[in-house]
Amino acid sequence: MKHVARSRRAPLVALGALFLWWSAALPACAQSCTGVQIAGGTSNANIQIALNTHPAGTTFCFAKGTYRIATPLQPKNNQRLMAVQARAATLNGAKVISAFVKSGSNWVAAGNLPQTATADKECIVKGCTIEQDVYLDNLPLTRVLSPSALGLGKFYEQFGANGGQIYLRDNPTGHTVEQAYAPNVIRSASSGVAVQGFVVEKVASSAQFGAIDAEYSSGPGWTIENNEVRYSHGVGITSFPHASGTGGSTIAGNYVHHNGQEGIEGYGDNLTVSNNEIAFNNTAGFNPEWESGGAKFGGAPEIQNLLVKGNNVHDNYGPGLWCDINCYNVTFESNTVANNKYNGSGVGIFYEISDLAVIKNNTLSNNGPAAGNNGFYAGADIIISASPHVTVYGNTLSSSVNGIGMLQQVRDDTCSFHGNSTYPDGTQVCPNLGASGPSHQVHDTLIHDNNSTETAGDGLGEIAGLDDDTGVNSSFSGNNLYVHNTYHLPALGNVYFSWSKVKVDPARWQSDGQDLTGTFVSP
């Protein structure tokens, strides 16, 4: 599974099988909030005036109600935006569409569309990058790309002058129709901002941009906690400091679901992502091998000291948790990661062309490919790809086709870290890989004391091992070790391990020096 490095800033058609309607019933509990009171329904402009006229560090208490946001709110440094009742104040990035008229079998109304639609890029479903989604009675409709494809539960948009037109087959009489409009509901270069307790929804965010978008340039990061972020076209929550050495953001206790590209995205130093539920994302059909799914970190701007802990990450169309391109000193701890799949493939936790990570005490199930797919290239519950110094322990894997695996491919993209040829620990970013030249490499990997259960038939899954397609094969002598793991196998004589380009049984696995103190269990 080779992924081409992409810089951030590349830019809804719902995937029917993925679009599972589910929402948590959450009480609107009162929170303690002392500060400037914002009455329910206050206009976008008047909220921004309040932010502008009060000093940095002011707290704003938002009463219960819906706040229509067309232009992103821009808080000052250390300003705190807080819902008085948890998830009873809604920041809504859509505009109401009315005055529909009957036209043949369809209903047509003026929209709030740009002159032209965003061109497709990195889509597996045509139209995935078009941000202006449409909602009927608070639920997203499915985009079609021609009027002839309209049917119940679907919409078509005709882009052009004067806001274009929106077409429905459903009769909108007596119903509320909305069109996503705002590119974000909160976006600011200020530092230390807090966003707490809101419902954030229906935002026309582009790919790789969040409905809540922390773009701070210096100082401490943002605190984004206890929000429900849903039905936005791009990313739910993003944190992107514009300088190294800034304080990290904390993204905690949020329910981030049914967003068009992915749930959470971030880079920079000292980011903490904890106790969130990240589910049912990539409804628009972006290519998961580019970037979509649950949460992704890293990219051309480096990320250091990332903690991802206690999250429930499930049913995303793409990798569950993914750190890609020059991540350094990362911990994935005590997460539950399940049912993250795509295109017959899938990954639960994915650590790619990076250095120094700990993956510990996570519970994973049913991530990865269907039985018989191409080994770890097709995905797994946990994959370490061309990354050194990764320790994996204490994890429990059930219902797995592919378990915990390593990948080595020629990866000569992004061979520097903060402009240096080495990581902070002195490890060369892209050491020479023989005739293949410089490449990120997997070495010094320790995978120990994990408990894995294989579900595929003989030879149709890989519960542990290393796949290398470089032709150099140095990874097999790169101090990559499995130690004292427990494996539950359908049969002890079957081949479920991969080493030196051969699928092997437990006896051969041990003769290759792996899991000499391991436990192999069969019913």
Q: What tens digit of pLDDT does each residue of 8-24 get?
A: 333 333 344 333 333 34
Average pLDDT for 30-47: 95
Give the DSSP H/E element, type plus range, for residue 256. strand 255-257
Instruction: Give 27 or 466, the one with higher predicted confidence.
Output: 466
Q: Give the pLDDT of residue 435.
A: 82
Q: What pLDDT band is residue 242 in, cutting at 50, 70 and 90?
A: confident
Tokens of 225: 């906690």
Q: Give the pLDDT of residue 20.
A: 34
CA 177 to chain centre: 28
Contact 515, 485 (CB under 8 A): yes
Query: Is residue 439 a part of any domain in this protein?
Result: yes
Q: Give the pLDDT of residue 11.
A: 31
* Domain boundary, last residue among 178, 202, 225: 178
* Domain boundary, last residue among 125, 154, 178: 178
Ordered alpha helix ranges (H), 165-305? 288-291
Average pLDDT for 224-242: 97
Phi and psi, residue 442, nearest 5°:
-90, 120
Q: What is the pLDDT of residues 426-464, one digit of tens each?
A: 999 999 998 889 999 999 999 999 999 999 999 899 999
Query: Is residue 444 a part of any domain in this protein?
Result: yes
Q: Give the pLDDT of residue 28.
A: 61
Q: What is the pLDDT of residues 43-88, one digit of tens each?
A: 999 999 999 999 999 999 999 999 999 999 999 999 999 999 999 9
Contact 329, 307 (CB under 8 A): no
Q: Give the pLDDT of residue 23.
A: 38
Asked if the model's pLDDT at residue 4 lies above 50, the reply is: no
Q: Give the pLDDT of residue 82.
A: 99
Number of Cα atoms under 13 Å in the Cβ half of residue 317: 23
Q: In angstroms, rounded to a whole number, what is the distance separating the alpha carbons of residues 101 and 359? A: 56
Query: Is residue 85 a part of any domain in this protein?
Result: no
Number of Cα atoms under 13 Å in the Cβ half of residue 318: 31
Query: Is residue 402 a part of any domain in this protein?
Result: yes
Query: Is residue 256 a part of any domain in this protein?
Result: no
Query: Is residue 153 a part of any domain in this protein?
Result: yes
Query: Is residue 202 a part of any domain in this protein?
Result: no
Task: Give the range of the structural domain holding residue 158, as residue numbers without chain letter.
Answer: 94-178
Q: In angstroms, rounded to a whole number, what is the distance separating the alpha carbons of residues 425 and 422? A: 8
Q: Give the pLDDT of residue 24.
A: 41
Contact 247, 265 (CB under 8 A): no
Instruction: Tell me how crowded residue 152 is: count the other CB atoms within 10 A of its CB.
Output: 11
Query: Is residue 6 a part of any domain in this protein?
Result: no
What is the average pLDDT score of the chain?
93
Q: What is the pLDDT of residues 102-136, one digit of tens each?
A: 999 999 999 999 999 999 989 999 999 999 999 99
Q: What pLDDT band is residue 344 in, cutting at 50, 70 and 90?
A: confident
Average pLDDT for 299-324: 94
Asked if the model's pLDDT at residue 509 lies above 90, the reply is: yes
Full DSSP string of 417-456: BTTBSB-TTS-BSS-B-GGG-B-----S-EEES-EEEE-S
Q: What pLDDT band is residue 309 in, cutting at 50, 70 and 90?
A: very high
* Residue listed under structure tokens 């076209």: 233
Provide the domain count of the chain.
2
Q: What is the pLDDT of residues 266-275, one digit of tens each?
A: 998 999 999 9
Asked if the model's pLDDT at residue 317 lies above 80, the reply is: yes
∠ CA 401-405-407, nearest 5°, is 125
Q: In angstroms, rounded to a whole number, what is the distance separating the alpha carbons of residues 302 and 250? A: 17
Full DSSP string of 158-200: E--GGG-EEEESS--TTS-EEEE--S-SEEES-SS-EEESEEE
* Domain boundary, last residue among 151, 178, 205: 178
